[in-house]
Amino acid sequence: MNRRAVIIFILVAACLLGAFYFLWLGQRPADSLVISGIVEADDIHVGSKVGGRVLKVVAKEGQVVKGGETLVLLEPKEFDAALAEAQAALRQAEAKYALLRAGSRPEEIQQAEAARRQAQAELDQLISGPRQQEIDQAAAEWKASKAQAENAQRFLQRMEGLAKRELVAKQEYDDALAKADEATQRTNAAREHYELLLAGTRSEEVERARQRLAEAEAKLRQVRSGFRKEEIAQAQSEMEGARARVELMRTKLEETVIQAPVDAVIDTLDLEPGDLVSAGKPVATLLRIGSLWVRAYLPEARLGFVQPGLEVKVRVDSFPGRDFRGVVRRINRQAEFTPRNVQTHEERALQVFQTEVVLDDPEHVLRPGMSADVTIPIP
């Protein structure tokens, strides 16, 4: 009795399995192929090249952002100061370059011309020597001082005689003596001046005057011609270097604003104000909008029915009654095997090719990691 019940149960189960199988075949299109895969996405890791302390977190995980939209702000004070310093250095370099390009001012040229004329006049005077009128005047001054000295000497002799007889005070005698010495010194100075004029100018003085004139002329030429080309080129190079430093500081300041490079969905962004982020380290992971795709494996026997650009339907377990549009993006040229080492003809039937199918998900409901079935139409 138990044996008969077991047989009946097996038959009923077989009937039910067969009914379900034929029902599944009836629901599955006969002109299509279904391959399974996993939903994946092209992710983007964004960060800052300079790093710093987080000032504000603008975006949130799961948010859809446009390209150029701000995600995170870093504190910019340090880079603001560096940029201001670089800009000040640039203004100084530009002013120096403009000064060298403009050359000398008219006042500087006039001053150099006056110095040259003065040096020329001094040289001419030394070459020509003293005038006759100067010599005659020096001779007359010598004679006058000589006469005064003789008078002072005679007065001193009289005062000396009176002093010996104690007819005058000793102070009067001392005053006469001082005046006589002073007159003698003036006479000697006048004589030396007269003799110097008679002798004329010495060659050493003329040579020194020539050197002063040459220096004045060189200074005038320098002022008139302006600065050298090498000096202007150096100033220009310094200005360009300062401008490059300004651009560098401006670029670093811009790096304190972390932005989305493209339209995307924020996958991970775990930061709080005050956090420190390192230079070059990702702070957020974005999923490029329109970048969801399914990685599936196409059997070798069906390879001839699928080409890049073919439209397919995709279903995921989370939305069992909904079809998503997909387009085959590429099929690998290199086959993969299951098992890895193929030895027999039967095992070669297990050879597959990785296939990528781009998904159309305008509502952003799909997520990477979902299991997906790709329905490929077969003509």
pLDDT for 26 equals 43
Distance CA 119, CA 113 (A): 10
Q: pLDDT by residue (tens digit) across 281-324?
A: 999 999 887 778 899 888 888 888 888 999 999 999 888 889 99
> Is residue 36 one of the residues assigned to a domain?
yes
pLDDT of residue 161 exceeding 50, the answer is yes
Summarize the confidence of residues 45-58 as an average pLDDT. 93
> Is residue 35 one of the residues assigned to a domain?
yes
Strands 293-299 and 43-47: unpaired
Are 294 and 370 in the same domain?
Answer: yes
> Is residue 213 one of the residues assigned to a domain?
no
Are 62 and 97 in the same domain?
Answer: no
> Is residue 225 one of the residues assigned to a domain?
no
Q: How high does pLDDT run on average in the chain?
A: 81
> Is residue 307 one of the residues assigned to a domain?
yes
For the chain, the domain total comes to 3
> Is residue 140 one of the residues assigned to a domain?
no
Are 297 and 372 in the same domain?
Answer: yes
> Is residue 20 one of the residues assigned to a domain?
no
88 closest CA partner among 234, 319, 249, 322: 249
Query: Are 39 and 367 contacting, i.e. CB atoms less than 8 angstroms apart?
Result: yes
Q: State what percent of residues in the chain have pLDDT above 90.
A: 29
Are 272 and 341 in the same domain?
Answer: no
Q: What is the CATH number of the domain that holds 278?
A: 2.40.50.100
Are 278 and 317 in the same domain?
Answer: no
Summarize the confidence of residues 230-240 as an average pLDDT. 89
Domain-terminating residue out of 268, 286, 304: 286
Are 298 and 273 in the same domain?
Answer: no
Distance CA 136, CA 194 (A): 9
Q: pLDDT by residue (tens digit) across 338-372?
A: 544 444 444 445 678 889 999 988 887 888 888 89
pLDDT for 274 equals 92
Q: What is the CATH number of the domain that holds 358?
A: 2.40.30.170
Are 241 and 314 in the same domain?
Answer: no
Q: pLDDT by residue (tens digit) across 167-214?
A: 778 888 788 888 888 888 888 888 877 666 666 556 677 778 788 878
> Is residue 111 one of the residues assigned to a domain?
no
pLDDT of residue 24 exceeding 50, the answer is no
Flag whether the pTM goes above 0.75: no
3-state helix, strand, coil in the chain (%, to 5): 50, 25, 25
Q: Give the H/E segment covering residue 64.
A: strand 64-65
Are 99 and 237 in the same domain?
Answer: yes
**Residue 342 contacts by C-beta under 8 Å, 6 or more apart in sequence?**
348, 350, 351
Domain extent, residue 280, equals: 47-74+257-286
